[in-house]
Amino acid sequence: MTEIKGWIDGQVKSNNVVLFMKGTPTFPQCGFSGQVVQILDYLGVDYSGINVLESDDLRQGIKDFSDWPTIPQLYVKGEFLGGADIVREMFQAGELKTLLEDKGVLGNA
């Protein structure tokens, strides 16, 4: 496994919820990344935001890792959930909240 893929694999496995995005949660630099940040913040889930714009290897590596051509990409407990469309669709259907609760990553505050 290439170095970048190993690093990505480590991030995906060591964070309950990790969002590979353009920009950072406080400063998203793309509308789609911003949408997912808003949804995760609304649900109050703790997540790690990784800015793929920091390295071309990372930006391409994450697309190869998941065989998914776009950014953002959301992972929960090591599993690839999808990009902005799927996260929004799941959120609107109430499935995202249920999934996060089932995986025990949503604090029942």
Partner 1 sequence: MPMSPSEIEKLIKEALPDATVSIRDLAGDGDHYAAEVVSEQFRGKNRVQQHQMVYDALKGNMGGALHALALQTSAPD
- Is 94 one of the binding residues for partner 1 (CB under 8 A)? no
- Is 91 one of the binding residues for partner 1 (CB under 8 A)? no
Task: Select from 33, 32, 38 the least CA-distant residue to 20.
Answer: 33
Output DSSP code: residue 50. Answer: E
Helix axes 31-43, 95-102, angle to 10 degrees: 60
CB of 70 to partner 1, least distance (A): 5
Give the interface segment with partner 1, choosing from 4-12, 19-27, 83-91, 99-107 (CB under 8 A). Answer: 83-91
Is residue 11 within 8 A of residue 47, CB to CB? The reply is no
Figure out which of the listed residues 23, 61, 72, 82 binds partner 1, where binding follows CB under 8 A. Answer: 82
Cis (ω within 30 of 0) for the bond into 28? no
| Binding pattern for the stretch 17-56 against partner 1, x by CB under 8 A and - elsewhere | ---------------x------------------------
Question: Cβ closer to partner 1: 7 or 68?
Answer: 68
Distance CA 98, CA 10 (A): 25
Q: Specify the 3-state DSSP secondary structure of 48.
A: strand
Q: Which residues bind partner 1 (CB under 8 A)?
A: 32, 63, 67-70, 80-86, 89-90
